[in-house]
Amino acid sequence: MNSKIYSSAALALSGEVRDGMTIMSGGFGLCGVPSDLIMALKASGAKDLTVIGNNVGCDDHGMWHVLANNQIRKVLASYVGENKILESRYMSGEIEIEFNPQGTLAERIRAGGAGIPAFYTRTGYGTKVAEGKETRQFPGQDGVPEWYVMETGLTADIAFVKAWKADAEGNLIYRKTARNFNPMMATAGKLVIAEVEEIVEIGELAADAIHTPGIFVDRIVLGSGYSKHIERLTTRPRAVAAAAGEQF
């Protein structure tokens, strides 16, 4: 019987990656990043990749490994700070970066997955982001005509998704802010591979609580030895916070 479950990220990706492909990868900073799949992408050695994601990893983490291995030609992202290799390759012209406003990037992926070739947004009108793009007036939030920019939907050859739990059908549930770009990317890849922390029995996930229905997910991999990284650990000491009653 056909099963979506693969025993490792390497097997799930085996024979699927070719030079020049477009890869989407979920995550915001280091949160909700499919790290095993990214390491399998590095091991594939495929070159000239176009990578779509909010960030491109950061020093020593996530997609940074694929970048450091000279496999990426172009990046679509909204923020690429804290990444020295990307900085130097961008400044030297070795890598092309297409900066997208974060919401425009999210909506382009959502649209791509939903079969919508293009949409209009007010975001970026009158800025570099709108250069060379069609603009058009529509009624704005308060009914007065405003200028909008046409943005196109995005799809990928392969989409990497990081979820918390999956069942064998491929139904997915995400955890807290690790959801971010993952649900949209799950709809926008020709091949969608979900890396999860736990694979549960069918029926264990409440049908009403499923975030990504299994129809979108082709392959499932149980992530190995989860060590989640924190980019900026911020805490408050107990006594002081209680005394001051601070919110932050």
Partner 1 sequence: MVWTRDEMAARAAKELRDGYYVNLGVGIPTQVANLIPDGMRVMLHSENGMLGMGPFPYEGEADADLINAGKQTITELTQTSYFSSADSFGMIRGGHINLSILGGMQVSQAGDLANWMVPGKMIKGMGGAMDLVAGVRRVVVVMEHCEKSGAPKFRRECVLPLTGKGVVDLLITDLAVFEIDKRGGAATLIELAPGVTLEALKSKTEAEFAIASSLAMP
Interface positions with partner 1 (CB under 8 A): 28-32, 54, 77-81, 87, 90-91, 97, 99, 101-107, 109-110, 121-129, 141, 144, 164, 174-184, 211, 228-238, 241, 246-248
Report, in Å, the least distance between residue 4 CB and partner 1.
Answer: 22
d(CA 66, CA 231): 19
Q: Which is nearer to partner 1, 17 or 162 (CB)?
A: 162
Q: Which is nearer to partner 1, 32 or 170 (CB)?
A: 32
Nearest CA to 85 out of 74, 98, 69, 99 is that of: 69
Report, in Å, the least distance between residue 105 CB and partner 1.
Answer: 8
Report, in Å, the least distance between residue 45 CB and partner 1.
Answer: 28
In angstroms, the Cα distances linking 84 to 49, 58, 80, 90 are 19, 8, 9, 10
Indicate the residue type of 123.
T
Q: Which is nearer to partner 1, 17 or 111 (CB)?
A: 111
Q: Which is nearer to partner 1, 19 or 146 (CB)?
A: 146
The answer to whether 2 and 29 have CB atoms below 8 angstroms apart is no
In angstroms, the Cα distances linking 196 to 10, 43, 164 are 14, 20, 5
Q: Which is nearer to partner 1, 18 or 228 (CB)?
A: 228
d(CA 14, CA 21): 14
Report, in Å, the least distance between residue 2 CB and partner 1.
Answer: 28
